[in-house]
Amino acid sequence: MSQLQNFRDQFPLLEQQVNGKPLIYFDNGATTQKPSSVIAASGQFYQSQNANVHRASHAISTRATQAFEETRRQVQAFIGAQYSHEVIWTSGTTHAINLIAQCWALENLTAGDEIIISVAEHHANIVPWQVVAEQTGARLVAVGLTDKGIVDLADFETCLTHRTKLVAVNHIANVTGMINPIEAIIARAKEVGAKTLIDGAQAIAHLPINVTELDCDFYVFSAHKMYGPTGLGVLYAKQALLMQMKPYQYGGEMIKTVSLKTGTVFNELPFKFEAGTPNIVGVVAFAKAIELIKDNFDFIHQQDAALSQYLFDKLTDTDGVELVFSRQADIPLYAFVVNNHHNQDVSSYLDSQGIAIRAGHHCAMPLMESLHMNGCLRVSLAPYNTMAEIDIFIDKLTVFIKGETDSCLDTGSGNELATSIRSESMEMNEIIERFTQAKSWDQKHREIMLLGKSFERMDKTLRSAQSLISGCESQAWLVAIKQGETFYFYADSDAKIVRGLLRITLAAYQHKTAAQIQAFDINAYFEKLGLLSHLSPSRGNGLLAIVEKIKALALS
């Protein structure tokens, strides 16, 4: 058995089918899959070790505490920290950054101080600093990227001044896939006395990390992006800083003594920042994820490099695909767009083929704004992915781009849906009939896309802030015209799949009175069509947002 197959076999979720097709999971930048060892460790803890940690004196609590603290020591070694108490458990990278904002930044920044970030930061490494700046009078400064997708050191040098007190940048951005020159950034920040925070969420599963050698002040990451459990993260901070910082959450393990007469004394490190009962099972299971990476260290890095090269070559050779950054990425993560196609249409088609990728702004709206983009597609691979999966992905993407999907949209009734749509007079029952005949999600998806393709577009003058549907994943607009006692609705979206969903929804409400609109059981309608169980949560919420907009317009 090859090392790749042996590694892949440890991830049971990869063996399932999605929409009748073998799953190809290319959304590892959002979260990685979990190996059997992590899954088993979670169950085993609850079966044999379940107890709270540290305080109890009984045997089970002792075993739980030992396993809990052993994982902390494993993390210390994994990232090269000097002391285990420099490792603070959090709920994730976002929590870790917010802890730094609350416990260090608010106590140390004043009016006129500056915080440097890059335009490619995740929202979790932007918004806390915006809030800190508002509360302290500090100024937030964003450094641009080079055309290769890394932090522009020349721009950084221009922005770095004696007023800079914190530099918070990612090790690898979740859109670029490129390693930032953090060693140079950390060294220059030190020269002006600034602290450094490195967001390692995208780097931790791909690179060897040694925080002592980096000499950064803070390093943060999440377990779920490195094959570990969700709801668990790590804040590394230098001991001296942690000693100075005050906690911002209170209760439980972070307390040493409490007296109504003399007050409260906080616990020692690291417990001072770990209020309440921690994610014990997550921590214990996380040890297995760390072991997996350590045991497969060379394979992971070799596979990363091979996948990145192969995926880059395939994407650049695919007509109609434009990479956001034209250079080969340092990890197998690429952002791209497909010419003349909406991102949501591409991702929804691939989903119907069992291929999971991501579409949208990727929690990086400032980067999208700087690139003059509304969003893009992203594929992010892990070492359990294969070249064969890349080939299937490229084949399906090519089919979509060439429009070959339109030639196979008939579901076997002998009548193409395009000819059955009679302008705006299509009855709701016709839609139900078509979707009843479409047994698989692949077929239902085709019906939605044909509905969207034939949907008459709205006059662009009607697209406004007032007609925009709030809560819809892609931009969509809706207006109502009252004709006597009944309503007629116009709607539009740049995404075909959203237009198809609009067409389906409007068919249920056209030429109804306000009372009929409010009384109509839309969930039963969607259930008949078999939609909600297949749509992503965000797109399902968007569908419900369309309904709420219709109801609101009818009432007003």
> What average pLDDT does this structure show over 422-436?
72
Residue 293 pLDDT > 80: yes
Q: How far apart are CA 71 and CA 93, in angstroms?
A: 18
| CA–CA dist 315, 96 (Å, integer) | 35
For residue 94, the domain's CATH number is 3.40.640.10
Q: What is the three-class DSSP state of 111? A: coil
pLDDT of residue 251: 84
DSSP percent split of the chain into helix, strand, coil, nearest 5: 45, 15, 35
First to last CA, the chain: 66
pLDDT band at 538 (very low <50, low <70, confident <90, very high): low
Amino acid occupying residue 127: V
d(CA 554, CA 515) in angstroms, rounded, equals 9
One domain for residues 193 and 67: yes
The tens digit of pLDDT for each residue in 178-219 reads 999 999 999 999 999 999 999 999 999 999 999 999 999 999
Asked if residue 316 is part of any domain, the answer here is yes
Query: Residue 418's pLDDT band (boundaries 50, 70, 90)?
Result: very low
Residue 187 counted as domain residue: yes
Give the domain extent around 523. 412-555
In a shared domain, residues 283 and 339: no
Strand partners, 114: 139, 164
Peptide bond into 128 cis (omega under 30): no
pLDDT at 409 over 90: no
Alpha-carbon Rg for the chain in angstroms:
26
Are 496 and 528 within one domain? yes
Nearest to 163 by CA among 127, 182, 189: 189
Same structural domain for residues 428 and 395? no
Q: Is a pLDDT exceeding 70 seen at residue 322? A: yes
Residue 460's pLDDT is 83
Secondary structure (3-state) at 195: strand
What is the count of structural domains for the chain?
3
Q: What is the mean pLDDT of residues 117-124?
A: 98
* Neighbour order of strands in the sheet with 512-513: 476-483, 486-493, 512-513
Tell me, yes or no, whether 399 and 438 share the same domain: no
263 located within any domain: no
Q: Which of 263, 293, 323 is the last residue of a domain?
A: 293
pLDDT classification of 406: cutoffs 50, 70, 90: very low
Task: Classify residue 257: in a domain, yes or no.
Answer: no
Residue 78: per-residue pLDDT: 98
For tokens 């001072």, name the residue.
Answer: 272
Q: Which of 59-68, 197-206, 500-509 has the highest mean pLDDT?
A: 197-206
Q: Tell me, yes or no, whether 273 lies in a domain.
A: no
User: Binning pLDDT at 50, 70 and 90, where does residue 414 land?
Assistant: very low
Final residue belonging to a domain, choices 389, 405, 421:
405
Are 147 and 282 contained in the same domain?
Answer: yes
Helix (H, G, I), strand (E, B) or coil at 456: coil
3-state secondary structure at position 32: coil
pTM of the shown model: 0.86
Q: Which pLDDT score, from 0 to 100, does residue 310 have?
A: 98
More confident residue, 312 or 417: 312
Q: For residue 410, is pLDDT > 70?
A: no
Residue with tokens 């006395």: 193
Q: Domain of 545: which CATH number?
A: 3.90.1010.10
Residue 399 belongs to domain with CATH number: 3.90.1150.10
In whole angstroms, give the CA distance from residue 35 to residue 326.
33
Indicate whether 353 belongs to any domain.
Answer: yes
**Catalytic residue chosen out of the listed positions 363, 376, 408, 472:** 363
Residue 243: pLDDT over 70: yes
Residues 6+ apart with CB under 8 A from 415: none
The amino acid that residue 150 corresponds to is I
If pLDDT is split at 50, 70 and 90, which confidence band does 268 have? confident
Residue 27 contacts by C-beta under 8 Å, 6 or more apart in sequence? Answer: 356, 357, 358, 378, 380
Residues 395 and 419 occupy one common structural domain: no
> Which of 215, 220, 221 lies closest to 194 in space, CA to CA?
215
Q: How confident is the model at residue 411 (pLDDT cuts 50, 70, 90)?
A: very low
**Domain match, 315 and 452 both:** no
Mean pLDDT calculated for residue range 417-422: 35
Amino acid at 403: G
Residue 270 lies in a domain: no
Q: Tell the residue number behind the tokens 């439980």, with chain if given.
A: 252
Is the pLDDT at 323 greater than 50, yes or no?
Answer: yes
* 385 shares its domain with 428: no
The average pLDDT across 500-510 equals 90
Best mean pLDDT range from 107-116, 254-263, 447-456, 499-508: 107-116
**71 and 132 co-located in one domain:** yes
Domain end: 405, 436, 459, which one? 405
What pLDDT score was predicted for residue 445? 87
Question: Percent of the chain at pLDDT above 70?
Answer: 94
Stretch 489-516: mean pLDDT: 90
- Average pLDDT over the chain, rounded to an integer: 91
pLDDT for the residue 430: 87
How confident is residue 426, by pLDDT bands cut at 50, 70 and 90? Answer: low
Please determine, for residue 91, whether its predicted confidence score (pLDDT) is greater than 60.
yes
Amino acid at 548: E
Local confidence band at 145 (pLDDT 50, 70, 90 cut-offs):
very high
Domain identity same for 341 and 400: yes
When pLDDT is cut at 50, 70 and 90, the band that residue 483 belongs to is confident
* Among the listed residues 248, 281, 231, the one whose alpha carbon sits nearest the alpha carbon of residue 52: 281
Identify whether 220 is part of a domain.
yes
Are 21 and 66 within one domain?
A: no
Asked if 127 and 101 count as a contact pair (C-beta separation under 8 A), the reply is no
Which structure tokens are listed for 517? 């609109």
Q: Which two three-digit tokens encode residue 444? A: 């239902």
Q: Do 285 and 228 touch, CB atoms closer than 8 A?
A: yes
Q: Tokens 């990476």 appear where?
A: 293
363 is a catalytic site residue:
yes
